[in-house]
Structure formats: structure tokens, C-alpha cells
Structure 1
């Protein structure tokens, strides 16, 4: 049982690491494509937060479909 739990924990940690790395890449790419910059954050912080939240939601959906629901 401990062996199974260790292997499961190891697998879940690997999936988590992969998902986080993919999220980071997608967020950077989407922000760059949509022109979401530090300048935008300084100019209109609420708009920046809205845009980043939207991108995070899209990236999470992609990661879930690519890594979790497969």
C-alpha cells in the first residue's frame, strides 16, 4: 500500500509540475499576443486584471483538456 501511495504521489506531483509549466508558457504567450504589458497595468489596472483573469481562465481550460481530461 505504501509503495502504491508513493507512486501515486510521485505521479500526481509530476502532473502538477507539467500543468504549472504549461500554464506559465500559455499565459506568457497569450499576454504577448494580446498586448497585455506592464505599461497597460500602470495605465489601467482594472482592465489589466480583467484581461489577465480571462487569459488565466482560457489557459486553465487548455491545460485541463491537454493534461487532465486526456
Structure 2
């Protein structure tokens, strides 16, 4: 039997240990960093898509995936906040005239934008 083999289906190398081939996995010592939405995506994958989560971990693509999701979600929220503020008439003029009303509306807009981003990006297959 060969000492090492490569599986083209999953892209992993395996080494023979006794009677079994075990995958050659490396632990990344540095702590990966990703933002709020990346953390939420990681939790969703762990709880609801465990096979996909395990695949991303084993192939070493989890951090890249979470950073990409975090970036997409942040950009989506920013874009939606701008569009909703314009559509709902939340302007700098309103901010100078009635700050509390402006804050109330902006908080509502941000919550709505985040809800959309969560449904479309974070909690998506």
C-alpha cells in the first residue's frame, strides 16, 4: 500500500497510519479574524449546515468564506441604508431640525437593512 495518496474529489492528501489513511491536516496557529456578520455566519453553519461547515474547515477555506460573507453583508447594509434613507426622506436637513426623529428613523432603517442582509447573505444556503 502507498504511504501517501491524494484524493482529487476533495483535494486532500492522506497518509497511511497502520491500516488507515488519515487526512493530512494542518492547524493554523494564528487566530482568524472576521467581523460581526462572519461570526453570525459561522454560528449558522455550525448549527444548521454542519456538513458545509466541516467541508470548509477541512479544506482550510472557512476563514476566507467568513471574511467574504462579512464583506458582502457590510456592503449590502451600507447600500440599503443609503437607499432607504433617501427613499424615506431622512436627510441632513431633518438631522439639524429634529435630531431625535432623525435618530429614530436611522435606527429603524439600519435594523431593516440588517434584517435583509441576514436573510439574503448570512442565513442563506
The answer, yes or no, to whether TM exceeds 0.5 is yes
Equivalent residue in structure 2 for 1:38, among 86, 92, 96: 92
User: 2-side partners of 1:31 and 1:18: how far apart?
Assistant: 20
Paired residues for 1:1-70 under 5 Å:
1-2=26-27, 4=57, 6-70=60-124
Higher percent of residues as helix: 1
Q: Which ranges of structure 2 fall in alignment gaps of 5 or more residues?
A: 1-25, 29-56
Higher percent of residues as strand: 2
Q: Which ranges of structure 1 fall in alignment gaps of 5 or more residues?
A: none
CA RMSD for the aligned pairs? 1.6
| Off by >3 Å, runs of 4+ in structure 1 | 1-6
Q: Kindly indicate whether structure 1 or structure 2 has the higher relative contact order, using CA contacts under 8 Å at least 6 residues apart.
A: 1
Q: TM-score, normalised by structure 1?
A: 0.91
Q: TM-score, normalised by structure 2?
A: 0.52
Number of residue pairs aligned between Structure 1 and Structure 2: 70
